[in-house]
């Protein structure tokens, strides 16, 4: 699979055999699964821990300083080393780590297509236990900085949704959650297109053309803002938009959690 966003299991195997690679096992608190089996030298990236320490949102974006400290503690460097992020099953939760790393300046980062389940299913190597990274910090290895800002905040989303409802804006707000979650409440004017539509049976991502056509059929070829419940799935939506070449793409990282709180007090 040739993509700036995704990397196949075969490509990752070749990459691992050719030189240094940073591997990140990303998810929502599946530490026991990580300890039982992960790609060799993978670093555990627990999404609930890597968030803002001051926000009242449960998974709000960390500041640059917070993020850099998290990366130093885990030994995830920004020094030009290729980086691959994976989720245990497919890519759904890998998007959050992918976007955080890109947002804070890591250029060469991709998502493993099919995740750990595909890697293991092909008989590729895994290891147990926790990786302990090297001690000591070279400041040049952690040159994180804000580089890719696709975020939109509540006020902009509120204006956008009002414009969509009044017919003055042709953008789309894309909610990636399953219909049963979408139907319990969403950002005003959002359109539901579940992320599950984009995967093959083995949880690999469909071709660029297929992804592009699914998005165009439901959302159109217009500016798109991705949202979900807490801003995790929305990051994977942003990855899919980049993968298929959709030019005007943004993400509402506060998502429905922030929207519902703001609307309750307004």
20-44 pLDDT per residue, tens = 999 999 988 889 999 999 999 999 9
If you count DSSP H runs as helices and E runs as strands, how many of each does the chain have, helices first? 10, 9
- Chain centroid to CA 169: how far? 27
Q: What is the pLDDT of residue 263?
A: 82
pTM, full prediction: 0.94
Provide Rg for the chain, Cα atoms: 18
Sign of the Cα torsion 134, 136, 140, 144 reads: positive
Give me the residues paired with residue 172 across strands.
224
The highest-level CATH class for domain 6-141 is alpha beta
Per-residue pLDDT, 140: 86
pLDDT given at position 131: 83
> What is the predicted pLDDT for the residue at 265?
57
Question: What residues in the chain have per-residue pLDDT under 70?
Answer: 1-3, 135, 265-266
Write the DSSP symbol of residue 238. Answer: H
Q: Print the SS3 string covering 67-99.
A: HHHHHHHHCCCECCCCEEEECCCCCCCHHHHHH
- Calculate the average pLDDT of the chain: 94
Task: Spell out the domain ranges in the chain.
Answer: 6-141, 154-265
Model pLDDT for residues 97-109, shown as the tens digit of each residue: 999 999 999 999 9
Residue 227 and residue 258: Cα distance in Å, rounded?
11
154-265 adopts what CATH topology? Oxidized Rhodanese; domain 1 (3.40.250)
Q: Same CATH topology for 6-141 and 154-265?
A: yes
Pairing of the two strands 6-7 and 43-46: unpaired
């Amino acid at each position: 699979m040739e993509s700036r966003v995704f990397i196949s299991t075969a490509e990752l195997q070749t990459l691992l055999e050719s030189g240094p690679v940073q591997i990140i096992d990303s998810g929502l608190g599946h530490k026991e699964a990580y300890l039982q089996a992960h790609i060799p030298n993978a670093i555990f990236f627990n999404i609930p821990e890597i968030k803002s320490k001051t926000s009242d949102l449960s998974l709000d974006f960390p500041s640059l300083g917070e993020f850099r400290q998290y990366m130093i503690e885990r030994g995830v460097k920004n020094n030009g080393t290729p980086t691959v992020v994976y989720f245990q099953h497919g890519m759904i939760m890998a998007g959050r780590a992918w976007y955080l790393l890109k947002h804070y300046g890591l250029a060469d980062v991709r998502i493993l297509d099919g995740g750990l389940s595909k890697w293991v299913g092909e008989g590729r190597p895994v290891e147990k236990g926790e990786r302990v990274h090297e001690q000591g910090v070279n400041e040049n290895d952690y040159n994180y900085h804000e580089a890719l800002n696709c975020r939109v905040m509540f006020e902009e989303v509120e204006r956008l949704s009002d414009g969509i409802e009044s017919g003055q804006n042709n953008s789309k707000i894309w909610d990636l959650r399953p219909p049963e979650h979408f139907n319990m409440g969403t950002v005003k004017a959002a359109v539901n297109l579940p992320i599950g539509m984009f995967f093959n049976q083995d949880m690999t991502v469909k071709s660029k053309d297929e992804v592009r056509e699914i998005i165009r059929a439901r959302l159109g070829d217009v500016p798109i803002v991705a949202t979900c419940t807490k801003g995790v799935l929305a990051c994977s939506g942003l990855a899919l938009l980049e993968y298929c070449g959709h030019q005007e793409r943004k993400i509402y990282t506060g998502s429905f959690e922030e929207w519902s709180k703001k609307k309750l007090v307004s």
